Amino acid sequence: MQHTKFSWIVLECPDCGEQYSVFSDPEIPSEKRMLYSDGFFWDPIHWRTPRIIGCVTCESGFFPEKGKMIASIPIGEVTGKWTKLKRAEPPKAGNLALELRIRKKIEPENEKNIRIEFWYAVNHSDEGRQRFDTNERFRNFWLESLEKLEALLSAEKSEDRLLKAEVNRQLGRFEDCILLLASETDSRSLAISREAEKKNRTVFTL
Ligand SMILES: [Zn+2]
């Protein structure tokens, strides 16, 4: 059983103590994983850890590294009260917009992580997509955030570069996207470049 090496990490919200579970090795895909061009993935077994977690009890957002780690439970031993734990989810699109509006001083890395989740909220949640489709003010705020995210992502770091290229493609800056990925040979980079050549701005599955 290869699953025995995985565990649930229990994190406590630093503001109210509500507990959430995150998966120990989210970068390892299960066979059910659906990966998207923007790096978001849906995986019911090895689920994604949001870059900022939305607390449903106190409605604030907290970064996983700021959550107090309560326990690490091997998958086979998840029983009793632990089975009732909520999985960590990102804040809703409206709350992420609020995070960006009210946080006065944000470290660049944190700002980047909030803006990435805000980007994902419209690409991958019905609630975010609906706001985007029906609320012009929200739509402008989201597009502005995407431009700010582009500026925060470094072309020098490989993990950032791929996201930067994808943001540029979704903003319709196809030439910039292609240039950023010019020397990349992995399948995700090639797929993103191909869609940029076709002038396709929409997010797609890999
Ligand atoms: Zn809380």
Q: Kindly report, residue by residue over 6-33, the tens digit of the pLDDT.
A: 999 999 999 999 999 999 999 999 999 9
Q: How remote is the CA of residue 94 from the centroid of ligand 1, in Å?
A: 17
At 50, phi and psi to the nearest 5?
A: -65, 150
At 11, phi and psi to the nearest 5?
A: -115, 140
Q: Classify residue 34 as left (phi > 0), alpha (psi -120 to 50) or beta.
A: beta
Q: Kindly report, residue by residue over 127-182, the tens digit of the pLDDT.
A: 999 999 999 999 999 999 999 999 999 999 988 999 999 999 999 999 999 999 99
- Can you give the pTM of this predicted structure? 0.94
Q: How remote is the CA of residue 86 from the centroid of ligand 1, in Å?
A: 12
Q: How remote is the CA of residue 53 from the centroid of ligand 1, in Å?
A: 10
